[in-house]
Amino acid sequence: MSSATTNLDAYWMPFTANRDFKAKPRVISGASGHHYTTEDGTKLYDTFSGLWTSGIGHCHPKIVEAVQKQVATLDYCMSFQTTNDKAIALAERITAMAPKGIDHCFFTNSGSESVDTALKIALGYHRARGEGNRTRLIGREKGYHGVNFGGMSVGGIVPNRKVFSAALIPGVDHMRHTLDIGRNAFSRGLPAHGIELAEDLERLCALHDGSNIAAVIVEPVAGSAGVIPPPAGYLERLREICDQHGILLIFDEVIAAFGRLGHAFGAERFGVTPDIITTAKGLTNGVIPMGAVLVRDSIYEAFMQGPEHMIELFHGYTYSGHPVAAAAGLATMDVYKEEGTFEQARGLEQHFEDLLHSFDDHKHVIDVRNFGLMGSIEMAAREGAPGARGAEVHKKCFWDENLVVRAGMDTVQFSPFLNSNPDEMEQSFAGIRRVLDSLE
């Protein structure tokens, strides 16, 4: 390690085993395209596109230029009662890409904020329509909706909730998750079994009475829990049940939106239109933190009542629609269009699927899952040491193979670049195979 990094002690790292990390830090100080560089100049291939964020590669020149220009033109302006030209343009741009009927956009700074904003909009919508009794929120086991109180509460990842159990927001219930390795192991694309799990929503409607439920939130493809594509027909069925009971359907597309599923939105890929879509990550290619909540026209219109000088939604962030973030977002949308990024992503799917499923018969592997450019390889946990194999894969890939690989417990996750070079993708999987072969 060069002298640039001497003492990491002050830095409390997020979602990281701090003591283990600080004993042998993995510090990145540069990036370009599909590679990172460390302080000592080592080049590493990024198999995770940042953290699902940077689909068109790091330091894309068009985005760099737009950000540099914007920061020297308008660095910030008040986001309440005034706004900036770039935020207006980006809202128009992304609603034009959204499924028909989804016409309005509220800006946030992250996926977690997008989720909490969406939940608040859902509650406010029903109340504005005289259905203030609709307060219950439904999430799903294994769901990840960020770390703020709302998202944590509707989320279903146990370690993220455990310590805060008493502080979870009330009135939340969860559908069962759809991971069924027994029936669906090694499925390519959407698993065949499990559509009946959507009936869990009917069960909760029977239990709580559907008229008390405000919204259901799901990731179209669960990401953080280890890439869990929905059973074929499942999302369609959720949509039907929501319609029957007047419940808003929220798709948390923080990962799925902007090309990860080969389209601007996962909703488009599945042909299922929710009422609200939450986004972040690919909105700016990860360059500047930003999120957006997209809503149906009827939701926005429900708020537009009362005296015109009054605020309709008492919610917003100092940095909502930040001009530099919005400039990054506009440049990102330009690149998606000019480079045909979503088509590129679709073109890579088959190769990615084949590479992933070449691990189907590996001795440590119990499941391989994929959909779009989301994929995972789940390993059996080592006797008495759950998570150890996954942690070893991450570290060995970094130190021995110059690969940045994401592992959650014993599941290795993949988020290849939307514009990956097939040879580089192959080489990265060859490195991962060497590491898996070397594991006990």
| Interacting residues with ligand PXG (CB under 6 A) | 51-52, 110-112, 115, 144-146, 219, 223-224, 252, 254-255, 280, 406, 408, 413
Of the pair 251, 359, the CB lying nearest ligand PXG is at 251
Q: Which is nearer to ligand PXG, 44 or 205 (CB)?
A: 44
Residue among 285, 121, 297, 291 at smallest CA distance from 217: 121
Minimum Å distance from CB 227 to ligand PXG? Answer: 8
Residue 288 near residue 325 (C-beta atoms within 8 A): yes
Report the relative pairing of strands 374-379 and 411-414 from DSSP bridges. Answer: antiparallel
Q: How far is the CB of 289 from ligand PXG (least distance, A)?
A: 7
Q: Nearest approach, Cβ of 254 to ligand PXG (angstroms)?
A: 3
Closer residue to ligand PXG, CB minimum distance, 115 or 345:
115
Q: Give Cα 398 distance to the centre of its chain.
A: 23
CB of 257 to ligand PXG, least distance (A): 10
Least distance in Å: CB of 342 to ligand PXG? 19
The crossing angle, in degrees rounded to 10, of helices 323-338 and 61-73 is 150
Name 139's bridge partners. 174
Output the smallest distance, CB 211 to ligand PXG, in A: 28
Beta strand 136-140 pairing with 374-379: unpaired
* CB of 205 or CB of 255, closer to ligand PXG: 255
Tokens of 378: 């789940």
Q: What are the helix (H) ranges across 339-421?
A: 341-357, 388-401
Alpha-carbon distance of 121 to 38, in angstroms, equals 42
The residue number with the shortest CB distance to ligand PXG is 111
**Smallest distance from the beta carbon of 395 to ligand PXG, in angstroms?**
16
Q: Which is nearer to ligand PXG, 98 or 250 (CB)?
A: 250
| Residue 192 · residue 161 · CB < 8 Å | no
Report which residue type is found at 13. M
Q: How far apart are CA 73 and CA 94, in angstroms?
A: 23
Closest to ligand PXG by CB, 210 or 390? 390
